[in-house]
């Protein structure tokens, strides 16, 4: 009775939640679910789903074999298998890392019933077809589970504010729209705690592949990550859970201060560096913070963010900012600025705009946030002009909206462009 289902088997999950589960012990196993492609399943299956994690910190480099995953399902190949797995009574926890766009939420944080994947799933129900979207699969799994398969905890591990609250509300909204009568099961037997996750984890590159192949450890699909790791979890579980605290996870009543600190300081500075860094001609985060002007901009943005944080984390924010700059400067982690630059239309309303709104309410200006927003707009313009594909679900709408609102200041222009894209993509 010790199984986790994890939706979204990317590098971050394999460096973070899978590592915690491995390090905590206790005999838990994970069934991974890939929501789009079979690549990871195909790469890991020949090595029994074990893989190599290269951990690289200041003066520290080690490789660990992580072997807690024992199977990977590929949802588009067999969505029914995913629904059946979610209803397995041995499953106690479902964890998710599907990125901001994987939830199909609108600007207000609520499920977009008109998002293409959600709308397709809802209309598939009458035709007896299984869902494909994250929320559709999860709701279908929970509906099947409601028939006596036991309580469960669904733990969101993506960079969204109050991520558990949003996920729980999205599942309820979908279940209502789908006519599933699971409201009582959800309230009584399913918990959606919030959690703050943190570990900088770049995409895998050829140098890591070569290093892993030479190490004698499992060679396919290795992951590199930093030594630092943090996981703060709202202590609200409905069923058993791994002893993640043994690996350093912290259980608490209120995750919000930690999540605001992380989203506004780390992720906010990351997005700022991504756009300003690419415009300045850099490829990696450590190169960007090696530039005095960009380092000063990131530091100023973190200070602006820190002033908006709740008391429990505000006092320590200068130390947190210093530690972040050291993490960003880690030369052993090749973290591409373009990896962070993707999906800006979904990230900025979470990472930058709330800081600015909170400061405006306090009567404070936000020059660093404005510089980051200007960099985003400049980045988009440069990419479109160069004919490069912008990796953002709203790319077409952004391209159409960019020429507008030129008379506005950076924040007003960014907000007006985002508002236009929401209209254009029906978000």
Chain contacts with ligand CS2 (rule: CB under 6 A) = 159, 198-200, 267, 270, 339-340, 347
Closest by Cα among 371, 380, 352, 204 to 278: 380
Beta-bridge partners for 65: 52
Q: Where are the beta strands (DSSP E) in 58-113?
A: 60-66, 69-74, 91-96
Residue closest to 261 by CA, chosen among 294, 310, 194: 310
Smallest gap, in angstroms, from Cβ of residue 100 to ligand CS2? Answer: 9
Q: Which is nearer to ligand CS2, 219 or 298 (CB)?
A: 298
Distance CA 18, CA 41 (A): 15
Q: What is the closest distance, in whole angstroms, from the C-beta atom of residue 91 to ligand CS2 in the complex? A: 26
Closest approach of Cβ 387 to ligand CS2, in Å?
24
Contact 401, 421 (CB under 8 A): yes
Q: Cβ neighbours of residue 46 under 8 Å, at least 6 residues apart?
A: 220
Closer to ligand CS2 by CB, 92 or 97: give it: 97
CA distance 144 to 228: 39
Instruction: Give least dist CB 45 to ligand CS2, A.
Output: 27
Residue 153 or 267: the one with the smaller Cβ distance to ligand CS2 is 267
Nearer to ligand CS2, 145 or 262 (CB): 262
Nearer to ligand CS2, 174 or 376 (CB): 376
| Cα Rg of the chain, angstroms | 21
Q: Where are the beta strands (DSSP E) in 82-202?
A: 91-96, 152-156, 190-191, 195-198
C-alpha dihedral sign at 28, 29, 35, 36: positive
Q: How far is the CB of 215 from ligand CS2 (least distance, A)?
A: 25
For ligand CS2, which residue has the nearest CB?
270
Q: What does the alpha-carbon distance between residue 262 and residue 247 come to, in Å, rounded to a whole number? A: 20
**Rounded Cα–Cα distance for residues 247 and 227 (Å):** 13
Q: How far is the CB of 299 from ligand CS2 (least distance, A)?
A: 17
- In Å, what is the CA distance from 312 to each residue of 196, 197, 255, 267, 315? 15, 18, 11, 19, 7
* In the complex, minimum distance from the CB of residue 313 to ligand CS2, in angstroms, rounded to a whole number: 16
- Closer residue to ligand CS2, CB minimum distance, 347 or 415: 347
Q: Are strands 91-96 and 3-7 parallel, antiparallel or unpaired?
A: parallel
For residue 157 the two structure tokens come to 């591990």
Count of CB atoms situated within 10 Å of the CB of 76: 12
Least distance from ligand CS2 to the Cβ atom of residue 319, Å: 18
Closest CB 263 distance from ligand CS2, rounded Å = 8
At its nearest, how many Å lie between ligand CS2 and the CB of residue 351?
8
Separation of alpha carbons 138 and 419, rounded Å: 29
Choose between 75 and 197: whose C-beta lies nearer to ligand CS2.
Answer: 197
- Considering beta carbons, is residue 82 or 157 the nearer one to ligand CS2? 157
Q: Is 400 exposed, middle or buried (0-12, 13-18, 19+ CB in 10 A)?
A: middle
Residue closer to ligand CS2 by CB (options 219, 340) is: 340
Tell me whether residue 34 or residue 159 sits nearer to ligand CS2 (CB atom).
159
């Amino acid at each position: 009775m010790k199984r986790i289902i994890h939706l979204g088997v990317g590098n971050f999950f394999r460096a973070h939640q899978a590592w915690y589960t491995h390090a905590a012990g206790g005999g838990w196993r994970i069934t991974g679910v890939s929501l789009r492609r079979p690549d990871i399943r195909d790469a890991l299956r020949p090595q029994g789903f074990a893989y190599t994690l290269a951990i690289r910190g200041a003066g520290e480099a080690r490789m660990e074999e992580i072997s807690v995953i024992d199977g990977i399902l590929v949802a588009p190949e067999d969505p029914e298998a995913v629904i059946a797995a979610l209803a397995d009574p041995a499953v106690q926890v479902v964890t998710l890392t599907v990125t901001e766009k994987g939830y199909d939420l609108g600007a207000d944080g609520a499920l977009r019933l008109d998002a293409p994947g959600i709308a397709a799933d809802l209309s598939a129900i009458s035709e007896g077809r299984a869902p494909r979207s994250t929320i559709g699969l999860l709701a279908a799994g929970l509906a099947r589970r409601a028939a006596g398969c036991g309580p469960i905890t669904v733990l969101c591990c993506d960079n969204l504010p109050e991520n558990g609250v949003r996920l729980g509300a999205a599942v309820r909204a979908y279940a209502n729209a789908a006519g599933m009568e699971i409201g009582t099961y959800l309230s009584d037997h399913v918990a959606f705690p919030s959690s703050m996750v943190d570990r900088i984890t770049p995409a895998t590159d050829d140098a890591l592949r070569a290093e892993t192949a030479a190490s004698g450890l499992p060679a396919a699909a290795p992951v590199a990550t930093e030594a630092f790791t943090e996981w703060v979890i709202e202590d609200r579980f409905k069923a058993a859970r791994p002893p993640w605290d043994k690996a350093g996870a912290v259980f608490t009543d209120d995750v919000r201060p930690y999540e605001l600190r992380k989203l506004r300081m780390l992720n906010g500075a990351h997005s700022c560096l991504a756009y300003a860094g690419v415009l300045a001609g850099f490829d990696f985060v450590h190169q960007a913070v090696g530039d005095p002007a960009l380092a000063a901009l990131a530091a100023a943005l973190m200070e602006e963010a820190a002033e908006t944080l709740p008391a429990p984390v505000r006092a320590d924010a200068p130390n947190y900012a210093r530690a972040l700059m050291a993490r960003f400067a880690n030369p052993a982690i090749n973290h591409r600025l373009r990896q962070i630059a993707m999906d800006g239309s979904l990230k900025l309303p979470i990472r930058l705009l709330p800081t600015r709104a909170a400061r405006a309410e306090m009567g404070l200006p936000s020059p660093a946030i404005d510089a980051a927003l200007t960099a985003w707009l400049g980045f988009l313009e440069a990419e479109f002009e160069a004919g490069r594909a912008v990796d953002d679900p709203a790319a077409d709408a952004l391209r159409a909206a960019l020429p507008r609102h030129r008379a506005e200041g950076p924040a007003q222009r960014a907000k007006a462009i985002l508002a236009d894209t929401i209209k254009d993509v029906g978000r």
